[in-house]
Amino acid sequence: MYFPLYRPRRLRKSEALRRMVRETKLSPDDFIYPLFIVHGRKVRHEIKSMPGIAQLSIDLAVREAEAACKLNIPAVILFGIPEKKDPKGTEAYSPRGIIQQAIRTLKRELPDLVVITDVCLCEYTSHGHCGVVVDGEVHNDATLALLAKMALSHAEAGVDLVAPSDMMDGRVKAIRDLLDRKGFENTPILSYAAKHASVFYGPFREAAESTPQFGDRKSYQMDPANAREALREVRLDVQEGADIIMVKPALPYLDIIRKVREEIDLPVGAYNVSGEYSMIKAAAQRGWIDGEGAMMEVLTAIKRAGADLIITYFAKEAARFLEKNRSGC
């Protein structure tokens, strides 16, 4: 079909027509809302580089989660800031740890909300790396047992889903094995399968206080240049027992989301990371971009690329936008 017989503009004439032929539609069901949890009561520390996002004590996190629930967002993902850090990240797997307490309270107060936890040591270690450091290097196999222990402590506290983000080899299997042995065979694993060593995590590290104290994460997180390797990482995690696999970051990695979507039949997640959020916020604050428009366009693009689930700091704002703009006939 060619012009003038075919005129693509015919179906763009009105918003109602455009809605009828729209291929990708966002819904609050797509979103997972991240929360940063700190010790104390009534604590709210705004994150300077992430306007609208704050570290929250458990009491305030419950209120924030409730607000997300009311907007029909089905899930939150928790990151913890411990009281004390040490080389082995002890608080990460302590039954009295900040996240273990947060899980118990959230599940008690909001039983229908899906509570996901990030499983990684970097917020808990004094050196800020995602694993145990031996002779100046992040030791893969020594880290596996600690990650599994951390995931188990979350499961024991009642978490709905664990999400390992450390990028150690074999961690999905290590976690799956221990969970199964301890009777948590029904706790799913959302694996950060293709996680790249990205500068876009910068603002998150302010929020989670998890900047590495020496070196960088390039010996465990993936090279941003690699897409074939991303698929290999994803296949490995599927073989090891992941239930949902994730690509991270999202916006600069849409090609990888698409490839994973085409090859894997598990649900695919994408992490719209802190830097992606902060860029839009910063430009919008200066009046350089329409922040709401950019938010919706980016989230739509991530879904169009193939993501079923999107972890995003925009979750509440985007859900509010969708509610406000719900159209009649």
Contact residues toward ligand PBG (CB under 6 A) are 118, 120, 122, 130, 165, 201, 204-205, 217, 273-274
- Element at 292 (helix H, strand E): helix 291-305
CB-wise, 216 or 323, nearer to ligand PBG? Answer: 216
Report the distance separating Cα 15 and Cα 329, nearest Å.
10
CB-wise, 9 or 163, nearer to ligand PBG? Answer: 163
Cβ contacts of 141 within 8 Å, gap of 6 or more: 170
Helices 140-157 and 98-109 sit at what angle, rounded to 10 degrees? 30
Judge contact between 292 and 321, C-beta under 8 A: yes
- Smallest distance from the beta carbon of 107 to ligand PBG, in angstroms? 21
CB-wise, 79 or 184, nearer to ligand PBG? Answer: 79
Catalytic residue of the set 85, 173, 248, 316: 248
Q: Which residue is nearest to ligand PBG (CB)?
A: 204
- Smallest distance from the beta carbon of 122 to ligand PBG, in angstroms? 5
- Smallest distance from the beta carbon of 42 to ligand PBG, in angstroms? 25
**Catalytic residue at 248?**
yes
Report the distance separating Cα 13 and Cα 3, nearest Å.
17
Would you report the helix, strand and coil content of the chain in percent, each value rounded to 5? 45, 20, 35
Report the distance separating Cα 155 and Cα 238, nearest Å.
20
- Smallest distance from the beta carbon of 116 to ligand PBG, in angstroms? 12
**Catalytic residue at 195?**
yes
Judge contact between 319 and 28, C-beta under 8 A: yes
Catalytic residue of the set 85, 173, 195, 259: 195
CB-wise, 92 or 120, nearer to ligand PBG? Answer: 120
3-state secondary structure 223-286: CCCCCHHHHHHHHHHHHHCCCEEEEECCHHHHHHHHHHHHHCCCCEEEEECHHHHHHHHHHHHC
- Smallest distance from the beta carbon of 144 to ligand PBG, in angstroms? 15
CB-wise, 65 or 208, nearer to ligand PBG? Answer: 208
Active site residues: 195, 248
